Structure 1
């Protein structure tokens, strides 16, 4: 999920793209699986609940992507079950991307993602590249150290080999 905060109304609406980069692919060489949930189309369904907030949310599964769009799933421990709307986009190869057209001006981007932890629990690092109007802006660092949980339906625990979402 992406949230962008609107600045002044004088800014134009840029095209924002997050792309899996070579760093993501290099983690695959260590026989690990990298999942990054990135960016895409505004979702504010009619009758949605919650407070009025000063940002716009975009969900990766509503954007244009060449990655794998995960179908809705409520199975405990799956990436989709832990994702907003129970859906997500998996970017696990260099060059995979999610793209959307923003609906208004923005001054920030928040990316929700998950990367499976290493078996030893020390974590994995990866990056995605942020493009605005098809121009590279920066690499965004991702880590599994604070974005992964393990366990069963009744409890969670920090045992990386156990798996989980």
Structure 2
């Protein structure tokens, strides 16, 4: 993934930064923010389609750094049975990552883009398998990768499939709270 490839579509006007994006189904934005790590100051907080979301900048001088345990906050946020979708852009160490958590457990996680990272899913691999196959991202027919070498390189197609599968709002995310 290019240094700023994925970040440009998560937020308007914040190109070139790494972000951690947390969605939580059924929570209001204030409750979601209370479940983020201490000191978190999201760039954008909002809600849509039954999901609260928060977008945090990652880097020196922020509440999140590249060396942080990226999955622990998402697991904590999901502890009471809440569905949590978590995306981490990683310009310092591609590919970007995705995790789906519920009940304090990681249900599935995998890398995004980079020509097929989604093939190596961990946890309950079947959670998104049919949706990813229908989009030509995994499975027997991945000819879109041969037809277009830029296809899903930044993981956008995978993010789109995930958001549509869970009926979560698509980026760019905007403040509503």
The question of a shared fold, defined as TM-score above 0.5 by the shorter chain, is answered with no
Which has the larger share of helix? 2
Tell me which of the two structures has the higher relative contact order, counting C-alpha pairs closer than 8 angstroms and 6 or more residues apart. 1
Larger radius of gyration: 1
| Structure-2-length-normalised TM-score | 0.30
